[in-house]
Amino acid sequence: MAARPLSRVLRQVLLAGAGGLAALPALVQAQDGGEGGYATQLDAVTVTAQKRIERIQDVPMAISVLNAQHLAAQGQVQLTDYFAQVPGLSMNARGSGRNQLLIRGIAAGTEQNPTVGVIVDDVPFGSSTTDIQVPDIDPADMERIEVLKGPQGTLYGASSMGGLLKYVTLDPETDAFSGRAQLDASTTAHGGEGYGGRAAFNLPLVEDVLALRVSAYDRQDPGYIRDLQQGRDEINEARVKGARVSALWNAGERTTVRLAAMAQNAEADGTANADVDFDHVPAYGGYARMRMAGTDGYENKVRLYNLKVNADLDWADFDSISSYGEYDYTSLQDVSATFSRFTGIFLGVPNAGVTIDNDSRTEKYTQEFRLSSKGDAPLGWQVGAYYAKEDTTGYQALRGVDPDDGANLGYAPFYQATALSRYEEKALYGDIDYQFSDRFDIQVGGRYSDVGLQARTVYDGPMAGGPSVDSDPSGGEKVFTYLFSPRFKLDADSILYARVASGYRAGGLNGTLLGDFPQTYDSDTLVSYELGYKGIYLDNLLAWDLSAFYIDWSDMQIGVVDQATSISYTDNAGKASSSGIESSLTYRPLDGLELTWNAAYTDAKLEQDLPNGTFGRKGDRLPYSARFTSNLNATLNFPLGSLYGFVGGGVNYVGSRLAGFNSSAATARFVMPSYTTLDLRAGVEAERWALSFYVKNLTDEYAFLSATARNATTGQSLYGVGILQPRTFGTSFSWNF
């Protein structure tokens, strides 16, 4: 019998395991030293999912938690590195700095309003009106990353209908000076080298009263894609750098003020995309593609400033949270396959190359006031008021260029548009939790949101029919979301819960161009029904979370490409659903040995034909979501003389996914095959320093993270596919002082 490839063996093992235990909210436990210098039991993990500090074991919803410092030490510094570890979380890594997040399969395409919200320390971040602006924040100076599953519309509002990604940063400490430095280095198969440096300092300025925390990082992510037309290797090498400054002021016995500023810049000359045909055969080699000179790169800038004031009013806690954020994005793409058919008409130069400028800037201001009950009274409650204003300026221009070298042909853009939009949200929310007994309680919540939209678009160029200004379309709607969640405590560490929750995504404005397209589209809404169990056994050695869900999605927003003009717009379609099971099992059978197994099954599909039945039919799977995912991790800590050592590894399985819906039913959808990766790690730790070594994707699995047709109109073309980072060896050294 012929030997089977390791990746195939791993895949079969994972699938066999998933049959016995399907599903998965990952429970990542904190590490406290026992007598042997390592944890002997599972320690309690606290989260702020419900805007208050709670044990994860007590929260009646599915939550995953990732230790940010562990991610950084293992070189897992991008969302593409660690999303597969989180049950129910999927990703469409489209390149050019554009990422789309999905939870429980809730997505219908790209270039739409996001379905997953992003929070940084209680502050909503990123755009509510475009999903290309999902911040991919380096885990430096983060305490943890929480992933909340299912709609979070009651506490977090719009754009969290699928779930929420929550970054929790490290607070300054007022009692002692401390610091941490870390250096990383890596090398990638089929590519080049990477490096990283991080440093953080905690500075008490007035003991027990005032402290400052300063951190910074600079990293280079290795490239591994060759562009044959540009004659460049490792063109997707990326540079990411940033800093964060935070201050903590204990202004009185009952008042605390936190002030923070964060900045991150990222840039690259190319994406991690290669070109393949519909049958997955590489057109120019597995890690190669063809793009015109100067295209496919990107730059983005993130800025976030926030102020949080907490006051103990004796009868309640009061929080005021203010924020201002900026997100700038610039890219130049080669779109010849879609638009070169128009250059003969509008420029008199048949089949010229075409580039598109993409520039956008979003400025977002938010203000939230919140009151929360205190104590252990049978009735717990919180109420809040929220306001957000978001201004976005977007610019796009199509230019005719020389198809060989990308040089401008000297013509003005044959199409350009500048769009100015404003999104405003005003909301009141609240929830109550009534304890009928020591073991049974019910939580009920609601949120009333008033959303307003304004836009103005200026067009120019022959393809647009000359200079024109749209008629300032505006829109708005009032939305109510709700939550109902009974919980029964089986014992101090085990609960059964049910959760019925709704969520929504704000509507938007298309503008009009070259056809009778709808100027506006409405919000879409969903209702999620979830049953769950959380339990800890064997004297805190074994933890198991299990949840089952069904989601009913109505008036879903979907992107449409007009075949006559290649113009894209958004419309409301019919219904979709998502159902599944998620499970997480963590077990510490021996001192120092921890095993974690996550698995998930998600069935996300259309319940009605899409408009006119032309490109999406009832029963079709929703894009980018895998039916099966699984993750198995093992870590062993052991004494090593006066030091402590550790070895570990993880196996990730991601099932096959379908690309977005095509504009024609005659064109089959692209399939992204399933893949399995193996990661290994080992190292040694002392009281103040640690040295670790890791291997990501040991078997050098060739896998697709996204797929976009080079001809966006017909889909009958080569596909640009996002390629998973190949086998990477790395090392990390950290020093605490």
Tally of CA atoms within 13 A in the half-sphere of 415 that contains its CB: 19
Q: Which residue did the predictor score with more confidence, 231 or 33?
A: 231
pLDDT at 715 (0 to 100): 67
Residues above pLDDT 90, as percent of the chain:
64
pLDDT for 465: 82
Give the C-alpha separation, 373 to 365, whole Å.
27
Give the model's pLDDT for residue 469. 75
Domain 6-616+628-736 CATH assignment equals 3.40.225.10: no
Average pLDDT over residues 676-696: 96
Mean of the per-residue pLDDT values of the chain: 87
pLDDT over threshold 80, residue 561: no
Helix (H, G, I), strand (E, B) or coil at 505: strand
Alpha-carbon distances, residue 65 vs 117, 467, 494 (angstroms): 16, 51, 18
Q: Give the closest residue to 560 by CA, choosing from 713, 668, 707, 670.
A: 713
pLDDT over 90 at 63, yes or no: yes
Residue ranges of domains in the chain: 6-616+628-736
pLDDT of residue 159: 84
Contact call for residues 731 and 195 (beta carbons, < 8 A) = no
Rounded Cα distance between 652 and 583, Å, is 15
- Phi, psi for residue 329 in degrees, rounded to 5: -140, 135
- What pLDDT was estimated at residue 140? 81
Q: What's the pLDDT score for residue 6?
A: 33
13 — pLDDT class (breaks 50, 70, 90): very low
What mean pLDDT do residues 412-428 have? 91
**604-630 per-position pLDDT tens digit:** 999 988 775 557 888 999 999 999 999
Q: How many CB atoms lie within 10 A of CB 669?
A: 17
- What is the per-residue pLDDT across 465-497, written as a single tens digit (0 to 9) for each? 888 877 666 777 899 999 999 999 999 999 999
Query: Could you give the CA distance from residue 502 to residue 551 in angstroms, rounded to a whole number?
Result: 9
pLDDT at 128: 78
Mean pLDDT of 391-408: 91
- Name the pTM for this structure: 0.89
Instruction: Name the residue with tokens 């926030």.
Output: 306
Taking Cα atoms as reference points, which of 549, 445, 486, 546 lies closest to residue 162? 549
Residue at 488: amino acid letter: F
pLDDT at residue 24, rounded to an integer: 27
Taking alpha carbons only, the member of 222, 180, 190, 234 closest to residue 77 is 222
The least confident of 335-349, 370-384, 471-485 is 471-485
Q: Which residue has the higher pLDDT, 403 or 376?
A: 403
With beta carbons less than 8 A apart as the criterion, state whether 526 and 151 touch: yes
Among the ranges given (156-165, 198-207, 435-444, 637-646), the one the predictor scored with the smallest mean pLDDT: 156-165
pLDDT of residue 9: 31
Check the CA dihedral 271-277-280-284 and report its sign.
negative
Please give the average per-residue pLDDT across 579-603, as a whole number: 95
Phi (first) and psi of residue 340, to 5 degrees: -65, -20
Among 261-265, 517-521, 572-576, name the one with the lowest average pLDDT: 517-521
In this predicted structure, the answer to whether residue 27 has a pLDDT above a threshold of 50 is no
What is the residue type of 356?
Answer: I
Contacts of 551 (CB under 8 A, 6+ apart): 104, 106, 150, 151, 526, 527, 528, 529, 577, 578, 579
The yes-or-no verdict on residue 8 having pLDDT over 60 is: no
pLDDT (tens digit, 9 = 90+) per residue, 127-169? Answer: 777 655 566 788 888 899 999 999 999 999 888 999 999 999 9
pLDDT band for position 515 (cuts 50, 70, 90): low
- Please tell me the distance from the alpha carbon of residue 669 to that of residue 407, in angstroms, as a whole number: 34
pLDDT of residue 36: 41
